[in-house]
Chain A
Amino acid sequence: MIARAVRWLFLALIATFLAAPLLVVTGVSFNGTARMSFPPAHPGLLWYGTFFADKGWMAAFTLSLGVATGAALVAISLAFPIAYVSWRYRSRAARWLETLARLSFVLPLVVLAIAFLIFWSALGHVGRIENTILSHAVVFVSLPLATIALGFRSVDPALVEAARTLGARDEDVLRTVLRPIVLPYVVSGTVFVFILSLNEYIIAYLVAGFEVETLPIKVFNNLRMGFQPTMCVGAVLFMAVGILAFSLVAASGDLPKLLGGRAR
């Protein structure tokens, strides 16, 4: 009985802690005046109108979506071959690449950002959208790598053997046996990179922040110039995209299993 109450209280406190800032931002976005107050004064959709009518904010928002899409696609094009070769051939080269890919995720972000800043400057290729896309792709590649590797590990070897016995070549096995099993893992890996790239600030800022102003960069720049509830609208949109994307993953697959937990 007491154990139950303690457990409930603990979960409620954590949930409050995790939800509080999100609730405040959402609340402030509904203010009817330029004041950043919570609870909102004269609630209304004033700042949503401002956001969608403002070319600058909309440009930052669509630019962020474009960068994130590009980063997610590039990351998958890197992660899938590595995970496949590692599973199919137990190749040492693939394992080396895996280590290299993991490395970039476990290092302090700010250090990566400086390394990328130096890299793109040394190439003389500054302020381009490709810088942001490629940098995000290689920093976050370890996530799809992990999910896709999980996918390949969940394949029953007997299935593959049966297909081979019936004369299937590698391409056939890949297309008919592996694709349906591994696809949900590929999708969830793509979503991870998309959402993380959408929200990443310091790398995006250092590699091309002046020219490629994504939404987090724009919000950050606005933080110094004084607040406006429009910033909250941007934040709310980003949260909505995150909730939508992860809910879709959860609805279309087995989320606990995709995250490495026990299957249903």
Chain B
Amino acid sequence: MKFTYKEIPISFSPSSKRKKSIYRPIISVILIRDKKLIGYEALIDSGSDYNVFDAAVAGVLGINISAGNKRQIAGLGGEKIKGYEHKLILKIAGKQYNSSVIFSKQIPPNSFGILGSQGFFDNFRLTFKYPKYIEIL
């Protein structure tokens, strides 16, 4: 299945009015837990070890996030954030599979939900045709 890149206007600094369009590989994921489901738009990031989603998404699914295994994760800025790992079903590109997601209340306000190596890349074969499409098989 092919997904489009998302065209997003960015500024090079908070004070700059100049905008430039960039294209990000953000795709739709369906999360399923105990017969509840929700769609979520997440960024494909091969540099991430895990799937990392906002805790608010877990809240919509009725997941008590602190009941999961505690995880500490770090991003490029080096700031450590706390999260909790949960098992759930993901449905991506028509394929439904068991996966794990780290939910965190500390995802920075300019960041995204992330699809990473374990729980995403290890289940698919991906082709990036930037900026036309991402094919996920």
Partners in one complex: no
